[in-house]
Amino acid sequence: MKTPGIDRYDVVVVGGGAAGVASALGSARQGARTLLVERYGFLGGAATNSLVLTYCGFYVAGREQQRAVGGVGWELLRELQRLGFDSAPVRSKSGNWLVMLDVEAVKFAFDNLVASPNLHLRFHTRLVSAEVEGGCIKSVRLADHAGLHDVEAAAFVDASGEASLSAFAGATLSLAGGPGAHLQPASLPVHIGGVPPDVPIEIGPLAAIVERYNATAQTQLARADGGILVRLPGSEGVWWMGVDLVTPGLEGSDLARAETQARRQAWEFLPYLRELPGFHKAFILSTGPQLGIRETRRPRSIGDVTADDGSEGRRRDDGIGRGCWPMEVHEAPGRAVYLPIGGEGFFDIPYSAIQAQTIGNLRLAGRVTGADQMAYGSTRVMGTAFATGHAAGVSAALQSGQGAVPDADAVRRILRAQDAIV
């Protein structure tokens, strides 16, 4: 079934996570008629669809709370505060700052944020193809329960996480994913209930409990220390990140195997988790609609962010946002390395990293941003995704109006006017 007619917008953004929302708002506020396409019935990306309930990358590591991200990302944190949720950052033992989240508050905060002129939403909608003409995307085909919908636009933003728009458009991929690719493993965050609010979270005994579980388990937990176990603010819940596994993350059959295996591990470990002090009534309150996917594929940009950019804390005249999270690379399930950011504790993300190399009217945002293997460990986090998304949306809006790729100075001027940090 195909719906007749073609819808037309100035800018189409695929993916409603941190990067996609920032892109759509940055574009709409520049006056572009903007469509935001999301496959679920809510916005928020990994925070809401995978229960990754921590924003990383908003603050530079250190004793002082120095912001690296403003603009739309900062507006989201302010909206959470307005709703009565404490979005103040928490400093970890490593010196990195985290913002803990409540999944329902985040959904509602995003709903409020996107109630904006020029911004149109399509939920429960998937991208199924793209038409390319003369080195630019001419239109995309979308599918929902009503059928197929063709949408034309002057510029597009790929904020899909899995580079779906880039792949459909035939963009050159720097990391193609699929069987045999070395990818960072996925994780299944689990929301645990039944732990009274006065029970302190003591993770010391967790390693011994995991060792005992692994001695007889058919599939062992890769995180020998038990992973991350923290109290969620404003609730009686506990957040556990302890299940890691490898999956290509693209084929439905691969995802089915990975997600059923991850849930099975969580349920099999639950009786052992109840051995922690105060956890005797613990139960699995929820898991997300999907695994927390760290890496699948990404397109080649005009100029990728590199490990040297991060380790040296490089500043750039064409910077469109700042990255400050350490280069966190999960080499295998249960094994991660963290390389600190040099210089002033942040690096500038070049404008070239959000421009697709082979598609003239395609911008890249969030996990799709151009980056090498190490730098990707920093650029992929959600705080930084707000920054790359905001810039991608502004750039796309300018291109839709002037018919050519805008220069970095023009994008930077508008980002500053929209309270972004560049």
pLDDT averages per 10-residue partition of the chain, 422 residues: 79 99 99 99 98 97 95 98 94 91 97 97 99 98 98 99 98 71 90 93 92 95 94 86 95 97 98 96 96 95 97 98 96 91 98 98 98 96 99 99 97 99 98
Instruction: Considering only CA atoms, give the Rg of the chain.
Output: 21
pLDDT of residue 181: 60
Which amino acid does the sequence have at 226?
Answer: G
| Token pair of 21 as six digits | 């929302």
What per-residue confidence (pLDDT) applies to 235? Answer: 75
Q: Are strands 298-299 and 136-144 parallel, antiparallel or unpaired?
A: unpaired
Measure the CA–CA gap between 18 and 288, rounded to whole angstroms.
16
Element (H, E) at 242: strand 238-245
Alpha carbon distance 99, 91 (integer Å): 9
Domains of the chain: 2-178+295-417 (3.50.50.60), 186-287 (no CATH)
Q: Which of 240, 213, 363, 247 is nearest to 299 (CA)?
A: 363
Q: DSSP states of 134-147 as a string?
A: TTEEEEEEEEETTE
Residue with tokens 């920093």: 378
User: Which DSSP string do the residues of 5-67 spell out, in sequence order?
Assistant: EEEE-SEEEE--SHHHHHHHHHHHTTT--EEEE-SSSS--THHHHS---EEESSEESSSS-EE
Q: What pLDDT, on the 0 to 100 scale, is given for residue 2?
A: 56
